[in-house]
Amino acid sequence: MKLGSPVDCTYEGGHRALGRRGRNLWVADGRIGHGASRLKYAVPLSDVASVDVTERVHGGYRVHVRTVPDLGLRREPPTTLTDVTVRTRDGQAARWLVRGKGAEWVRQQLAPHLQEALIPFYDDLPPDERSPDC
């Protein structure tokens, strides 16, 4: 499963084995990670403790001055951003950012693959099993 083009999805860092940045979110062959056209940097799904998916809105009707061709004002709508945090058993937290798609859509894409690997969503964990460090 690839979460990427035409969806804007970037890896923002957080896990030593995955590096600092990249494109797309992949779940394939018992691994999760990133890569532009294929799964290139990954960790085994067996190392994943949970996955957190949270939605937020960025911006919202900022006014930009356009100089050419007209001098009018343009309004920019707010952008939906969804943060995906993959928490591994060693305490690291790999983070992806999905632009333009909500948390529910992202969860629907990930759910079958996580369920198959018996990986819970962070919100589904009992409060005493949630790690505040990540």
Report the CATH number that the domain containing residue 78 is assigned in CATH. 2.30.29
Domain count, the chain: 1
Residue predicted with more confidence, 51 or 128: 51
pLDDT at 43: 98
Q: Is residue 134 part of a domain?
A: no
Rounded CA-CA distance 36/22 in Å is: 7
Residue 12 has pLDDT above 70, yes or no: yes
The owner of tokens 């896990």 is: 15
- Torsion, CA 3, CA 113, CA 38, CA 54, rounded to 10: 30
Q: Is residue 131 part of a domain?
A: no
Q: Is residue 133 part of a domain?
A: no
pLDDT at 58: 82
pLDDT at 107: 96
Give the SS3 label for residue 116: helix
Q: Is residue 132 part of a domain?
A: no
Percent share of the chain, pLDDT over 90: 69
Domain of residue 51: give its range: 2-124
pTM: 0.84
Residue 91 has pLDDT above 70, yes or no: yes
pLDDT at 74: 60
Average pLDDT over residues 17-32: 95
Residue 67 has pLDDT above 80, yes or no: no
